[in-house]
Chain A
Amino acid sequence: MHKLDFFTQKRLSFGLFVMVLIVLTYATIIFTEYNVAKGFTSIPKAVRWATANFYPDAAAIKKLPAILAKLSDTILMSVASATVASFFAFFVAIFGAQTTRINVWFSVFARGIATVFRNIDVSAWALILLFSFGQSSFTGYFALFFVTFGFMVRVLIETIDEVSTDSVEALRATGASYFAIITQSVIPSCLPQLVSWVLFMIETNIRSATLVGILTGTGIGYSFDIYYKSLNYNAASLVIVVIVISVSAIEAVSNWIRRAVL
């Protein structure tokens, strides 16, 4: 058979990919009995409902002090879980990174732990821990702690291997001891990335904390849940506004810190 030329072949495989996508979409629409037309026409209706009900009014503003108190709980919990988990993650990452590991088995073990903690979702952790700690801030704290820990071990392993391999080799060649190599070469080399990832995890944790709060009955998430379920949409919308403002503010601050550190 005559061999198709390179470009025709590329076009054909792209066409095939689009076809598969269309078939998949269509099959799922039929399977779930989703009405496409109705789906689109209900968007204006949703917007109309939101503008009519979902806005903070004078009565909701009166609840602001209570909401802010819950918000500060949530933010403190997020910062605490992100920083403490990162601290522990750094030590585990040192054992996991190829550049600084003591032996292969430590490394496999460290990476294994990280994978387990990371791949269980934060909401799953919250529900599991709910049994041990009940409806308290501990549940949320540990759920965020575990996920942050798993994620940070993973990224710090990569950072250490990427940033400090060369200088670690040089310090090893001078006869420096293992711990001196860590403090004099690995930590200074990784510091900007380390700070950057901790800030990233603080931002992420504040977002997740809202969801975790709904599940565990603590913090700002719980406030939202209560107002929403008691049909107090004005107060619930105020909670959303407050969360958006605080997340944006924290993102701005952390961007500023990142620039200062680099």
Chain B
Amino acid sequence: MPLLQIAQLSKRYGTDKYALEGIDFTVDTGEFVAIIGPSGAGKSTLLRCINHMIPMSSGDVVFADASTKSFNATQLRAHRTQIGMIFQHYNLVNRLSVIENVLHGRLGYKSTVAGVMGWYSNAEKQQAVEILQSLGLSEQMYKRCDQLSGGQKQRVGIARALIQNPKLLLCDEPIASLDPSAAKIIMDTLKDINQRLGITIIVNLHQVDVAMRYAQRIIGINSGKIVCDAAPDAITPTIIHEVYGSEAGELILDFGEQYAQA
């Protein structure tokens, strides 16, 4: 069953050339999709068009059978509560505690007054505690976020997205600022969320090998257009070179044993 349909989506900043042009794809419920492509290809823009953080220029995003093109402000807020977002730089309020940052994920469901005052129900607090436990952060619960390591901060970011009870997680370079072991923990966590909770995941990645290992499907983007859209075992070095352009001969790639000669 399709959860997300992107139809002829284009984005143009002012009168510059198109950042995204005629993007078309469908994501089914429960899929784990990786988007790869060179810097500036439009990966971040594409992700942010899905939850309207960046307004699209033309086309449509159909989410849970509803066209989001002409949503008003209230409908937009409701749309965003369905979609959790995870960022490269974690985007936490560093001076607040871990649990306060997690509870921020509930703000989308609140009236203006409750949101402004930061009133959370006991059930919400209980859920925050459970999510933090499941991510191995129970000891850090009352610590300020600026005392955490990068990997821990990213797990707080994931907790904040999960407490939204989202149907979809958008992850924008979630491991680009992390060391390899923290990166592995984050990717394993995302995989686990996808399999155990059945939450659909779309993740932007710079690391082709990580995308190949974790995703069920890889979408390659170059200059705002989709270059490839296939399962990892159908992705060949030739396709990767196409995604990353002509200078790709010098790419740092690890295709594992099956492509040892690449």
Contact = CB atoms under 8 A, between A and B. Distances in A.
Indicate whether A and B interact: yes
Given A176-B108, A188-B95, A191-B95, 18 more contacts: A167-B91, A167-B92, A169-B53, A171-B104, A173-B80, A173-B84, A174-B81, A174-B85, A175-B109, A179-B112, A180-B112, A180-B118, A181-B107, A183-B115, A183-B117, A184-B93, A184-B118, A189-B94
Interface residues of B, number: 35
A172 interface: yes
A202 B96 CA distance: 27
Identify whether the interface residues of A are mostly helix, strand, loop, or mixed.
Answer: helix
B87 A170 contact: yes
Contact of A175 (B94, B107, B117): B107
Contacts of A172: 53, 80
A177 interface: yes
Contacts of B109: 175
A177 B80 CA distance: 11
A11 to B, nearest CB: 41
Interface in A181-220: 181-185, 188-189, 191-192
Contacts of B81: 174-175
Contacts of B80: 172-175
A190 to B, nearest CB: 9
B199 to A, nearest CB: 15
Contacts of A189: 93-95
A166 interface: yes
A230 to B, nearest CB: 53
20 contacts: A167-B93, A169-B91, A173-B80, A174-B81, A175-B79, A175-B109, A176-B104, A176-B115, A179-B112, A179-B115, A179-B116, A180-B107, A180-B118, A181-B107, A183-B116, A183-B117, A183-B118, A184-B93, A191-B95, A192-B95
Nearest to A170: B91
A173 B83 CA distance: 8
Contact of B77 (A164, A167, A175, A183): A175
Interface in A43-60: none
B89 interface: yes
A219 to B, nearest CB: 37
Given A174-B108, A176-B115, A180-B107, A166 B91 contact: yes
Interface of A: 164, 166-167, 169-177, 179-185, 188-189, 191-192
B11 interface: no
A173 B107 CA distance: 10
A258 B216 CA distance: 51
B104 A170 contact: yes
Given A167-B93, A170-B91, A179-B112, A184 B107 contact: yes
Contact of A174 (B92, B96, B107, B116): B107
Contacts of B160: 170, 174
A185 B116 contact: no
Contacts of B77: 175-177
A166 B89 contact: yes
Given A174-B104, A189-B94, A191-B95, A180 B83 contact: no
B184 interface: no
Contacts of A179: 112, 115-116
Contacts of B92: 167, 170
Contact of B115 (A164, A167, A177, A191): A177
A49 B95 CA distance: 55
Given A170-B85, A179-B115, A185 B94 contact: no
A182 B107 CA distance: 12
Nearest to A164: B93
A229 to B, nearest CB: 51
Contacts of B76: 175
Given A172-B53, A175-B77, A176-B108, A184 B115 contact: yes
Contacts of A180: 107, 110, 112, 115-116, 118
Contacts of A173: 51, 53, 80, 83-85
Interface string B115-129: 111100000000000
A180 B105 CA distance: 12
Contacts of B107: 171, 174-177, 180-181, 184
B45 interface: no
B42 to A, nearest CB: 18
A188 B79 CA distance: 26
B78 interface: yes
Contacts of B94: 167, 189
Given A179-B116, A189-B95, A169 B104 contact: no
